Structures are given as structure tokens and as C-alpha cells.
Amino acid sequence: MVYYLDVIFLVNGVLNYLALWFAGLLQKRPAKGWRLFLGAASGAGGYCLLLFLPPPSALVQVVLGIGLLLLALVIGYGPHSPGELARLFGMALLALFLLAGALLFLLSAWPQVENQWRKTGVVSLLPLLAASAAVFGLLTLARQPLLLLSSRRTEGCLMRFWLGQHSTDTVGLLDTGNFLQKDALGHPVVIVSFSAVHPLLSLESRLLFLDHAPPEQVISQWKKEGRLGELLPYSSLGQEKGVLPALQMDRIEFITTGKIVQKPVTAIHQGSLGGWGAVLHPSVLENAR
């Protein structure tokens, strides 16, 4: 069999990029495009290098494949904890499994492409893009059931944040050790990761978070947009003292209970919350209507 390294690198790079992107889509984990590109390229480059080595055993191939995917995820997302990396890895595997299934289906229905694949070991980008479109639809439909499944853990709850006409879902942790329950005006406070609510924010606000801008700058941007924002002090998110930019949402729906919290103050944390999309004291849920 003749290997075309440029084609192999391109196809594997596209597959890796799609797997990384789909993993972030399911985990609601934003990432910069250049980081996903570097992660995908590192995985594809590693695969091409393996072609120059003696053929390894099946077990070694699996181990090397897992290692390359983990490397791509670390470069693409820079996960803050092993648990977050494990969840991204699981979602990337799911995406690759669905992509492979969609490609095999297209190959069976597309004889010319199947013949090309049998001769060269690669497929053209057209069926790859078609498979990607099909997998995108499947994963979009599956995201809500996956969130519901993860929220069935005893300490979790499925939440829907509303800002204007837009909403986004995430799974929150009911944490009795979280003493940030209300702000100075008595509004209920929920701590949420940026990755969970970034779809609700303006492009300018997202860029500020991705660039790790000071909280004061984020609040200033929200004021320009006519949003209500404030700074909330906090001391247990990986630092002794600090402040979080907090935005007043229109409401939060607790989907598993049907309760609603009106005008909650949402403190947005740039880092990880232990794999959870939000953290809140149980009293916030108990006082919902």
C-alpha cells in the first residue's frame, strides 16, 4: 500500500479537529481556534511519525492512539483537572466513534470513495464533511439527554440560564459549603463557569474572559451593553482573596424540579468548578418558586 503523508496528515488533522470541537460542544467548554488547530495538528503529526516505525502490536496501537488523543486535548483545551480531561476524552471518543460509523455508512453507499479508500487507506474530504454534518446533528440532539443523565447524581441539578431571549443548560452542584448565597441587595447568587454560560455573553465579553481580563474591565463592558453587573468577593476558588464579575440573569429554571429563580446574580468564574457548570447553595433551590 502506498502512503500519501500529506493526505494522511490532512485527513487525520480534520478528524482530530472535529473530535476536539465536538468534545467542547458537548462539555460546553470554549477554546480558541488556534489551540484546537495545534492540538489537532499534534495528533495528526504523531500519527504520521508512527508510520515510519515498525508496525506495533494491536495493544500498543491502542495505547499510542489514546496518548495522541490526550495530547491533542491537553493542547486544545488545557484542562484544569484530571477529571475534566477524562470527561473531554470520553466526549472525544464518542465523537470519533460516531464519525467512524457515519464514514463506514457513506463508504458502503459510495462505491467510488470506497475503492479509493481500499487503494490508498484514506478518504476524500467530501464524505468526511458529510459524515461530520450528520454527527453534528446527532450530538446536538444527544447533548440534552447527556446533561440530564449527569444531573441524576444526588448532588447535581440540571439548570437553564436565561438572558433575554437566549438560554443555555448546564449541571450545577448543590454545595452546602458554599457560603456565597446572596449579594448585598439580597439577590440569590450562583457561581457558574464561563464555559457554561459563554453562549449568553456578547462577543466582546467572551473575548475579555478568554484573554483573562480583570473583572473590573468585564463589568465596564457589561455596563456599556446596558447589563447589570457587580463585583463579588470570594476566597475559595484557588486563591485566598479575589473578586468575581457577576451578571444579573433574567431567571434560572431548575429543569428537574420545575422551580424558577428570578433575577439571580451569576458570578462567572474563568476556571474550572471541578467539572460542574455551576455551584450553588441548596438554599437557592429551596427558595425558588
How confident is the model at residue 118, as a pLDDT? 55
Among 125, 148, 171, the domain boundary falls at: 148
Query: Which domain, by its residues, includes 127?
Result: 5-148
What does the longest C-alpha to C-alpha distance in the chain come to? Answer: 71
* pTM of this structure: 0.51
User: Which residues lie below 8 Å from residue 231, measured CB to CB, with a gap of 6+?
Assistant: 215, 216, 219, 243, 244, 245, 246
What is the Cα–Cα distance from 217 to 221, expressed in whole angstroms? 6
How confident is the model at residue 161, as a pLDDT? 92
Q: In terms of domains, do 103 and 130 share one?
A: yes
Please give the order of strands across the beta sheet that includes 278-280.
Answer: 229-234, 242-248, 265-269, 189-193, 278-280, 166-174, 156-163, 251-254, 259-262
How confident is the model at residue 36, as a pLDDT? 87
What are the cell numbers at 248?
Answer: 444579573
How confident is the model at residue 126, as a pLDDT? 61
Domain with residue 189: its CATH number is 2.40.70
Q: In terms of domains, do 23 and 95 share one?
A: yes
Among 130, 148, 166, the domain boundary falls at: 148
For cell 474572559, the residue is 209
Q: In terms of domains, do 174 and 195 share one?
A: yes
Answer yes or no: are the C-beta atoms of 34 and 145 closer than 8 Å: no
Q: In terms of domains, do 272 and 176 share one?
A: yes
Among 83, 116, 148, the domain boundary falls at: 148
Q: In terms of domains, do 213 and 192 share one?
A: yes
Answer yes or no: are the C-beta atoms of 269 and 192 closer than 8 Å: yes
How many residues can be counted in the chain?
289
User: Which residues lie below 8 Å from residue 69, measured CB to CB, with a gap of 6+?
Assistant: 16, 19, 43, 89, 92, 93, 96
Q: In terms of domains, do 139 and 211 share one?
A: no
Residue 16 belongs to what H/E stretch?
helix 5-27
Q: In terms of domains, do 21 and 137 share one?
A: yes
Q: Total structural domains in the chain?
A: 2
Q: In terms of domains, do 139 and 168 share one?
A: no
Q: In terms of domains, do 93 and 55 share one?
A: yes
Crossing angle (nearest 10°) for helices 111-120 and 82-109: 120
Among 211, 205, 189, 172, which Cα is nearest to 28's?
Answer: 172
pLDDT along the chain (289 residues), means of 10: 64 81 73 83 83 76 84 83 79 80 67 57 59 68 58 65 90 67 68 89 90 90 89 61 84 85 87 79 71
Q: In terms of domains, do 68 and 18 share one?
A: yes
Q: In terms of domains, do 132 and 179 share one?
A: no
Dihedral sign for Cα 183, 185, 186, 189, please.
Answer: negative
Q: In terms of domains, do 129 and 12 share one?
A: yes
